Structure 1
């Protein structure tokens, strides 16, 4: 059984997403990707809100493997070719995406196939199940490489060598071309931190937190000026719920923190918060072009009133406290 999320985070999600949550009363929600980092946060938050606000939600989660949960109906299948359930649904949250292991360990053709054909199948399903709203979790990777933060009007130029980025780009195009009755909402997700974040994979902040929590020196290997930003997962859920219910259709929203931090400063921050030592690369590449993966989130603030409620120090400490 997975360790539950912090109760104060779940309470804060209900407080700040009460309006969209109440609009989901009696909703029947079909979810893909429910066992991943984002999906886990979404589902546990919805279950908590269901109990606290008496929403009478019905959650069905598509999964390749058999799972059981007293408050969730699991439907076994592959997102690319699952047999459509006979039930009707009011909402779909398409959070399904290839696993990090598949994405980063040499199976590019599978990555693209899962994203694009999974999107195709979900759009077909939305037309048959009666869903009025569909939230697609895209990625900031659709923008490609940039040296400054990007907003939603930035030209999309995904890395041609990244099947993940190309898949998300083509999946967005499919959403834009969709002519059915379901309102398609698009969230371009950037980087996050919080409980359940994989600590031993390709996420710098996860690697640093793992080093600190196991008493190791925090090591930065890349000398280039790399900038990232990290939104705490509870804020992420609040934003996604608002976009699902109140976001404009076919009108992408960046989801993440707009506060950029260099990877070197991030390592120093985690070290300071934990009393750990930090090892920096000898050949600091300050003359190299900056690599930004940071969103401009003014649209989310302007149109939906969304803000960050957790600063990075809080996010790191809350994650460390949860894994202890």
Structure 2
């Protein structure tokens, strides 16, 4: 199979690309000018310079391919210019899907996030649950809007779409929100823990990569959705696991929810003025997500994609070991 992949240099993308490279698929990787790929010495891999906003680079990358895996997205919880979220997650998604139709791609596996479901009334929620009324961050909102465009093209233009929805992804090599939280916690840079009773679903990064590959290779699953996670913990339970694995004691103080949100608004306001990320990672969008949480039922991926979920303490240990080394 010849596969065009966006986001191959990111956290999930690296693991997915490694899996596919081992299976001797021929890969074309979209690489931004500012990114470096670790897949430069593989005869089955071609690098294509460009990004989601450049349709010519997308068309060049998809030329001669059977399938597309769209992992790229703008994933942060604060930016000095919020328009970047729409530019990448909405307009970029539209570009990928339209180019896939033009290039007669046979299957597009699009990587979304469990966060696009908002807060469904049903807990744990599944692929058939109604989307909640609010997406709690610009990242989730724009991923949701971009996905609506993709499903619209599925209905009107027969886009051969499959969508993957990972929960909170953990593992070695994460430099984004979850990875920074873990790093700051074990380096004793957080003055307090927050939202200790809120439930969140987590998943090991290699399980997500395997789900993407299995969804790509599975027959007769066009139009399907797959949530990826089988565990749910409170932040208090996760923090305790992190402490036990790392041997680092937790902050003594657990900040009340109301004070956490007040501080988040204050620190985000300061960040917006000085154009630097909020102190302690306390962006209001990130705190809203942590406060609301999400509780995912990923059993469909077990049944249909054959995913065998890895215990989350293994994912945490791998992530902590990589940070220490």
TM-score interval (norm. to shorter):
0.7 to 0.9
Change (3 A) 1:42 1:223: closer
Give the C-alpha shift of residue 113 in structure 1.
2.2
Query: Which residue pairs with 1:13 in the alignment?
Result: none
Cα shift readout 1:215-244 (whole Å, capped 9, x = no counterpart)? x37754324632222211111111111122
The SS at the match of 2:163 is strand
* Whole-angstrom distance in 1 between the partners of 2:131 and 2:316: 31
Q: 1:193 aligns with which of 147, 166, 170?
A: 170
> SS of the counterpart of 2:321?
helix
Indicate the residue corresponding to 1:269 in structure 2: 241
Change (3 A) 1:181 1:313: same
Question: Larger helix proportion, structure 1 or 2?
Answer: 2
Equivalents in 1 of 2:84, 2:292: separation in Å? Answer: 27
Q: Aligned residues, how many?
A: 282
Q: Report the Cα offset of residue 158 of structure 1.
A: 5.6
1:122-151 residue CA offsets vs partner (Å, 9 max, x unmatched): 112112323211100011121113573221
Partner of 2:49: 76
Query: 51, 60, 67: which is aligned to 1:91?
Result: 67
1:37 Cα deviation after fit:
0.7
Which of residues 115, 118, 130 in structure 2 aligns to 1:141? Answer: 115
Residues 266-315 of structure 1 show CA distances to partners (whole Å, capped at 9, x for unaligned) of 111111122211114345559x997332311122223333231x212211
Q: Is the 8 A contact 1:120 1:174 kept in 2?
A: yes
Tell me what 2:318 maps to. 318
Is the alpha carbon distance of 1:219 and 1:294 closer, same or farther for their aligned partners in structure 2, counting shifts above 3 Å?
farther
Aligned ranges for residues 12-31 of structure 1 at < 5 Å?
A: 27-31=1-5
Mapped contact 1:175–1:250 kept (Cα < 8 A): no
Correspondences of 1:19-58 after superposition (within 5 Å):
27-47=1-21, 49-50=22-23, 55=24, 57-58=25-26
Alignment correspondent of 2:84: 110
Matches within 5 A, 1:161-310: 162-178=137-153, 179-180=156-157, 182-198=159-175, 201-203=176-178, 206-212=180-186, 214=187, 216=188, 220-223=192-195, 225-246=197-218, 248-255=221-228, 257-284=229-256, 291-308=292-309, 310=310
Structure 1 residue 177, shift from structure 2 partner = 1.9
Normalising by structure 1, we get a TM-score of: 0.78
Q: Is the 8 Å Cα contact of residues 117 and 135 (structure 2) preserved in structure 1?
A: no
1:39 deviation in Å? 0.8
SS of match in other structure, 2:293: strand
**Cα distance in 2 between the residues matched to 1:283 and 1:209:** 19
Q: 3-state SS of the aligned residue for 1:229?
A: strand
Q: Secondary structure at the match of 1:197?
A: coil
Following TM superposition, by how much is the alpha carbon of 1:79 offset from its aligned partner in structure 2, in angstroms? 0.6
Whether the 8 Å CA contact 1:224–1:290 is kept in 2: the answer is no
Q: Structure 2-normalised TM-score? A: 0.77
Change (3 A) 1:305 1:231: same
CA-CA distance at 1:38 after TM superposition: 0.9
Counterparts of 1:299 and 1:63, CA distance in 2: 32
Which ranges in structure 2 are unaligned for 5 or more consecutive residues? 262-289
